[in-house]
Homo-oligomer: A and B are copies of this chain.
Amino acid sequence: MQEVIERVLPRIVPLPEEEAELREVEKALIARVDEAARLHDRRLYSRLLGSASRGTWLRYEKDLDVFIFFPEEYTKQEMERVVSSIASEVLVEVQKRYAEHPYVRGRFMGYEVELVPCYAIREPSQIRSAVDRTPFHNDYVMGRIGGLENEVRLLKQFLRGIGCYGAEAKVEGFSGYLCELLVLRFGSFQRVLQSAATWKPGVVLALGEVEERAARRRFSSPLIFIDPVDENRNVAGALSLQRFSEFVYASKCFLREPAIEYFFPPPRRVSREELLGALSSRGTALVGVRFEAPDVVEDVLYPQLRKAHRLLRRQLEAGGFRVLGGTVHAGRNCHLVFELLESVLPAARLHLGPPVNSSHEERFLGKYREELSRPFILNGRWAVFTKRRHGSAAELLRDFLSGGELHSRGVPKHLAMSIQEHGFEVVEGEGCLEEEALLSVAEYLLPLFPWERGSG
């Protein structure tokens, strides 16, 4: 264990000269931002928050999160306008992004910078959106993390290596703040893993006292970590059961047999041929939908893609096609891929009608006079063999997505708009194995834990 950690640390802990450089850049950046901000309103000021300020950033990360504090009378729109204007003066390569809150990205002396507007608030209970809580998180951690920074870095890198780092929608994993709290709670990287190896969904953690049952009633995620600055918030609220379970299992495996691959897994390499081979030995059918990715942040896009995947899966299943599983991928295009037990189905379908002698009998008999069979009685109910509406899964998907009014039929908004504006394509078999989606399809068809890639 110690040997593995010794090999990891140099790759994630900044050298003293690197840290000094970051502090220089920070100083220059805050000065420039404050200067620009005060031109708008003398009450505005900025602070570096996040891992760079807390001393828990990873060596190779060059990210600086600068929060600009506004008096409470500012509206969101006004803050957005001011921050954009500051960014255009201070940063290069500026991009506006929208998540729960608008913010601006850009570059400054080689560093990735995020400029985030927030309200200057005295008490965490008065916050108006999630970003207002960040200053309090910073204050909480800064006062306690001293001496444990590298334990946090080890945990972050471990989580990144196993694919569980980041609370963003694409990952649904562990946030940096959650890593810091876990290290504060258990005292070291190793002790966090020792605890995690025993977790089952429903774990409740806190710094200080906590009523486990009450917490479980209030929050429904697999891990509940009560925020020390706000007892009504679960810091692990964005963690999915999938990522939770992967972390638990990875912790067990790592403790049993430590290896550097958990921190730095080899990249997965996969070829079309390998996937075609897997498909042929499975005997199943792939069908996919492809359309131009809408221009929205991943935090908006991924939930929409997953929702669309569930929707189309239900449509396929309602049409009689059995879906074994599938995956989504977002690149230049969006890809929704389904693996089916059958991509075509016979025409005949048993259609059950009302009970014999019920009030709906006449209507049923009038409507289904002559289908694949005449109406007949099956255990007291009317029945008829009718023709299936869609004989192939591809046809069903095409029909569903061509219909217009996609949003009102359950397709998430941005996807519906992209499909209606730019169209879509239904692809089958090999057609689903497009280069940009290849790895996602591989992760579905031939799942492999990142740390096992060497042996895969």
How many chain copies does the complex carry?
Answer: 2
- List the 10 shortest-distance A-B pairs measured between CB atoms, nearest first: A283-B346, A376-B447, A282-B348, A245-B356, A241-B380, A283-B347, A284-B346, A245-B377, A245-B380, A284-B348
Cβ–Cβ < 8 Å partners of A2 in chain B? none
Given B249, B380, B446, which contacts A373 in the complex, CB threshold below 8 Å? B446
Given B248, B385, B452, which contacts A282 in the complex, CB threshold below 8 Å? B385
* Number of A interface residues in the complex (CB < 8 A): 51
24 A–B contacts from the bound complex (CB under 8 Å): A198-B357, A199-B357, A222-B380, A241-B379, A241-B380, A242-B380, A245-B377, A245-B380, A248-B356, A248-B357, A278-B372, A281-B347, A282-B372, A283-B345, A283-B391, A284-B346, A320-B341, A324-B350, A324-B385, A341-B348, A342-B346, A373-B445, A374-B448, A374-B452
Closest beta carbon of chain B to A420's beta carbon, Å: 32
Known: A282-B346, A284-B347, A374-B447. 14 other contacts (CB 8 A): A199-B357, A200-B355, A245-B380, A246-B377, A249-B356, A282-B385, A283-B345, A283-B347, A283-B391, A285-B346, A324-B350, A341-B346, A342-B346, A374-B448
Any B CB within 8 A of the CB of A177? no
The chain B residue with its CB closest to the CB of A388 is: B283
Any B CB within 8 A of the CB of A244? yes
Cβ–Cβ < 8 Å partners of A199 in chain B? 357
Given B249, B284, B345, B373, which contacts A341 in the complex, CB threshold below 8 Å? B345
Cβ–Cβ < 8 Å partners of A377 in chain B? 242, 245-246, 249
Any B CB within 8 A of the CB of A124? no
Cβ–Cβ < 8 Å partners of A452 in chain B? 374
Any B CB within 8 A of the CB of A201? yes
A residues 327-370 near B (Cβ < 8 Å) are: 339, 341-342, 345-348, 350, 355-358
Cβ–Cβ < 8 Å partners of A324 in chain B? 348, 350, 385
In angstroms, Cα B378 to Cα A249, docked, is 13
Any B CB within 8 A of the CB of A325? yes
Given B201, B320, B374, B447, which contacts A380 in the complex, CB threshold below 8 Å? B201
- In the complex, are the beta carbons of B357 and A200 less than 8 A apart? yes
| A429-456 vs B, Cβ < 8 Å mask (1 yes, 0 no) | 0000000000000000111100010001
In angstroms, Cα B449 to Cα A356, docked, is 14
In angstroms, Cα B373 to Cα A278, docked, is 9
| A229-250 vs B, Cβ < 8 Å mask (1 yes, 0 no) | 0000000000001101110110
Closest beta carbon of chain B to A216's beta carbon, Å: 16
The chain B residue with its CB closest to the CB of A282 is: B348
Closest beta carbon of chain B to A197's beta carbon, Å: 8
